[in-house]
Amino acid sequence: MSTPTQRASNLFVGSPIERLEDLRFLTGRGQYVDDLHSNHMLHAAILRSSVAHGRIRSIDSAAARARPGVHAVITAADIGKVPTIPLRHDPTPKIRRFEQPVIADGKVRYVGEPLAVVVAESAALAEDALEAIVVDIEPLPPIADRDKARKDDVILFETVGTNLPDTITAVRGDAEAAFKTAPYTRREHFSVQRHAAVPMEPRGLLAEWDTENERITVKGACKVPFTNRRALAQMMGLPEKSVRMVEYDVGGGFGARGEFYPEDFLIPFAARLLRRPIKWTEDRRENLTALNHARDMECDLEIACTRDGTILALRCQAFADIGAYVRTNGATAARNVSQVMSGPYRIPHVRIDVTLVVTNKTPVGTYRGPGRFESDFCRERLFDMAAADLGIDRVEFRRRNLIREEDMPYSLPTVQVLDIETECDSGDYQKTLDRCLAEFKWAEREKLNGKRVDGRYHGIAVGCYLEGGGTGPRENVRLAVEADGSVSLFVGSSSVGQGVETVFAQIAADALEMPMARINQVLHGSTDYVAEGYGSFSSRSIVMGGNAIVDAAAKLRALIREAAAKCLGCQPGDIAIDQGMAIGPARANIELKEFAGLSADGTFASNKRTYSYGAHAAFVAVDARTGHVELIDYVAVEDVGRIVNPLTLHGQCIGAVVQGLGGAFLEHFIYDENGQLLTGSFADYLMPTAGDFPQIRAVALEDKPSPLNPLGAKGAGEGGIIPVGGVVANAVAAALGSFGVEPRELPLSPPRVWQLIQNAARPRPE
């Protein structure tokens, strides 16, 4: 793999440069948290509740403490006042009543909730000692079903008195009035199953306590290290400067990794208590049980139209099962459901109510496209149903209602209580739809729609979406000239596998007008690198971090010009920077290494989100005898504003589509009536593999840059997953149209599709 060396004047941004990170990964030189070691290091293991709901009578850890090699067993009694995990997003007073304690304190509310931490000389000794802890829990009736939870017959939080933390409502216009006079309405019930990010690398931490300086270093942080530093400092009673978060390589994040979990307090607490480095690594069963789950939403969705298919209103009552607690961003998906249920469509009247429901399950959080994946499935399914009722071609139905370019900026529904307003910044939504249809060869394949070929029924479908990204409020970076004349880049953004080292180097090289080889290193994810950072979430890294680099580069160039001008006896405006040299009049020059030590901080601030958009199309073949669905072809077209690196963007989109297909066909966390997770291993929780969906094509456009930032970039990390469930379900419905099959829930596993065929209203065609 070669490092680009050509001159950087507007050449690197937009180039398909291979990821710089990949060299160390492919040669086995990546460094993940489980690779770390520290002198005198101890190991931790977590005892987790096997009971979904109950009162803790006692925890007897005497036998475990007496085991050889065991240094401590920590329970709530050893901590004292047990802190709760603060909310990072949407902290309404009602929702905050359901925050999670860092360790079970008096009561357990889900299988997998931490009860105790064992610290020993090795991970094996710590895990063995877990078996010696005797826990006495008085069982309480478990609630593993959102419908039962809504009745409040059994209450998870007795002091609150309800299992409904809050209802999030988004409104535009007057939906109630529109429905009263609409010529056509339809109401349908849809649901999306509980599944999750399931990154390749489980979580892990190494915490080191510096007794002399009373400072804790936590290695293994990612996503939002500055936010987690603030939370941990408050919990441990330390000033923020006494908490250091350090990021290492991360084997996938997808919204779940890097949030604040109970272990993010428990392991540092143990390190300070014992004054020894302590390491904890999650196994896969823990990962499936304890990492944030996601999705798990059902809704009654109604549409109102004129007879020509013009949408007048959309109305919805949704219920989101958020598990036993509201974690750091547990309300984010519900909030997104409320705001983006209307999608990229011009709908004058909207009212979406999303009620949060607590149950005795693992708490939920964000997973790539939170709330948007669920919304698109429900909306796009309903659109196909409405178009069929009205006798309108489903492509034309969408085209007729898409937001037009002249409508920009177009306001989305306002989220009440949270008082969140946002608007689509730019776009030609019809163009991406047309490009998708052309790439997919829609007109040709439509002839096969619903037809039986070689014993299988063929179907196609198309759907449109938008992706909000670039969440503020700001991001910070620092550029510094090194002794050899290279430039180091320090960023507040984090790396969760999205290739920031490469794309940030491209942006910096262009902005500094230097070869990429002159960008010495991109340093990310440590709270020591910049004074303040906001991390990587909500497709914000390029929009916020990238534009902060542009700002810092302009400042650093000005400093270099000013310093060079003093040396060469000219004006700063007479200085050019080229190929690692500051060049003045008569070609007099100074090497950049002469300016070693110069540095500049950059910031980009914005409270306006960017909106990428696009269209996806799917072609499936369904075996009616078994319910098996084969994906024959899948096309994704998106416009993401300015493209920094087409190669990394293509990989992001393809990977996201595969994750969406996993959610559409395979992945499902299933609980029994006792709140026990039945799919807690890869033997039962099915993940997509490389051979499952070989035919996926992605096309990225940059026709409509964002007017909200100098780069013109928009977030693009989640668009590939958002429309997949709806598009695939509509393709299956189209294939099985002769049976009268109408999928209303995911996943579309073979047993479910087979059962839909058996239950179909129409007889099996010959």
- 136: region left, alpha or beta (phi > 0 left; psi from -120 to 50 alpha): beta
What's the rounded mean pLDDT across residues 438-450?
Answer: 97
Tell me which of 418 and 263 has the higher pLDDT: 263
Half-sphere exposure of residue 219, counting CA atoms within 13 Å on the CB side?
20
* Residue 326 placed within a domain: no
Is residue 1 scored above 90 in pLDDT?
A: no
Three-class DSSP category at 67 = coil
Please tell me whether residues 651 and 528 are part of one structural domain.
no
Confidence at residue 765, expressed as pLDDT on a 0 to 100 scale: 53
User: Which helix (H) or strand (E) segment is 434 a member of?
Assistant: helix 429-440
Percent of the chain topping pLDDT 90: 95
Residue 694 belongs to what domain range? Answer: 425-469+610-766
Return all residues near 349 (Cβ < 8 A) that are at least 6 apart.
172, 173, 174, 175, 177, 178, 304, 312, 313, 314
Q: Please report which confidence band the pLDDT of residue 368 belongs to, taking 50, 70 and 90 as the band edges.
A: very high
Last residue of one domain, picked from the residues 543, 575, 605: 605
Per-residue H/E/C for 491-506? ECCCCCCCCHHHHHHH
Please tell me whether residues 97 and 132 are part of one structural domain.
yes
Q: Name the β-bridge partners of 633.
A: 619
Please tell me whether residues 458 and 522 are part of one structural domain.
no
Q: How far is CA 27 from CA 19, 21, 31, 32, 212, in A?
A: 14, 11, 11, 14, 38
Please tell me whether residues 575 and 521 are part of one structural domain.
yes
Is residue 766 scored above 50 in pLDDT?
A: no
* Residue 109 placed within a domain: yes
Confidence at residue 5, expressed as pLDDT on a 0 to 100 scale: 44
Confidence at residue 427, expressed as pLDDT on a 0 to 100 scale: 98
Please tell me whether residues 582 and 615 are part of one structural domain.
no
Contact between 3 and 506 (Cβ < 8 Å): no
Amino acid identity of 402?
L
* Residue 312 placed within a domain: no
Q: What is the CATH number of the domain that holds 95?
A: 3.90.1170.50
- The pLDDT tens digits of the residues spanning 558-587 come to 999 999 999 999 999 999 988 888 999 999
Helices (H), 364-423: 372-390, 394-401
What's the rounded mean pLDDT across residues 523-545?
Answer: 94
What's the rounded mean pLDDT across residues 485-511?
Answer: 95
* Residue 441 placed within a domain: yes
Please tell me whether residues 559 and 620 are part of one structural domain.
no
Is residue 604 scored above 80 in pLDDT?
A: yes
- 740: region left, alpha or beta (phi > 0 left; psi from -120 to 50 alpha): left
Please tell me whether residues 448 and 541 are part of one structural domain.
no
Tokens of 249: 């390589």
Is residue 10 scored above 80 in pLDDT?
A: no
Q: Give, in degrees to the nearest 5, the angle at Cα 411 between 405 and 416.
A: 165
Total domains in the chain come to 3
Please tell me whether residues 478 and 515 are part of one structural domain.
yes
Closest Cα to residue 642, out of 470, 465, 492, 509?
470
Is residue 648 scored above 80 in pLDDT?
A: yes
Confidence at residue 6, expressed as pLDDT on a 0 to 100 scale: 44
Last residue of one domain, picked from the residues 561, 584, 605: 605
Is residue 347 scored above 50 in pLDDT?
A: yes
Confidence at residue 445, expressed as pLDDT on a 0 to 100 scale: 97
Q: How far apart are CA 584 and CA 595, in angstroms?
A: 15
- The pLDDT tens digits of the residues spanning 699-750 come to 999 999 999 999 999 999 999 999 999 999 999 999 999 999 999 999 999 9
- Global confidence as pTM: 0.96
Q: Is 556 exposed, middle or buried (0-12, 13-18, 19+ CB in 10 A)?
A: buried
Q: What is the CATH number of the domain that holds 572?
A: 3.30.365.10
In 3-state terms the chain splits into helix, strand, coil percentages (rounded to 5) of 30, 25, 45
Tokens of 85: 């995990």
Tokens of 709: 């930032």
Confidence at residue 525, expressed as pLDDT on a 0 to 100 scale: 83
Please tell me whether residues 588 and 552 are part of one structural domain.
yes
Half-sphere exposure of residue 59, counting CA atoms within 13 Å on the CB side?
27
Please tell me whether residues 700 and 621 are part of one structural domain.
yes
* Residue 338 placed within a domain: no
Three-class DSSP category at 729 = helix
Q: Name the β-bridge partners of 93.
A: none
Please tell me whether residues 658 and 512 are part of one structural domain.
no
- The pLDDT tens digits of the residues spanning 251-271 come to 999 999 999 999 999 999 999
- The pLDDT tens digits of the residues spanning 179-226 come to 999 999 999 999 999 999 999 999 999 999 999 999 999 999 999 999
Closest Cα to residue 367, out of 332, 337, 338, 339?
332
* Residue 449 placed within a domain: yes
* Residue 637 placed within a domain: yes
Percent of the chain topping pLDDT 70: 98
What's the rounded mean pLDDT across residues 299-318?
Answer: 98
* Residue 351 placed within a domain: no
Confidence at residue 320, expressed as pLDDT on a 0 to 100 scale: 98
Q: Please report which confidence band the pLDDT of residue 4 belongs to, taking 50, 70 and 90 as the band edges.
A: very low
Radius of gyration of the chain (CA): 27
- The pLDDT tens digits of the residues spanning 141-188 come to 999 999 999 999 999 999 999 999 999 999 999 999 999 999 999 999
Please tell me whether residues 564 and 493 are part of one structural domain.
yes
Amino acid identity of 357?
V
Q: Please report which confidence band the pLDDT of residue 7 belongs to, taking 50, 70 and 90 as the band edges.
A: very low
Contact between 305 and 291 (Cβ < 8 Å): no
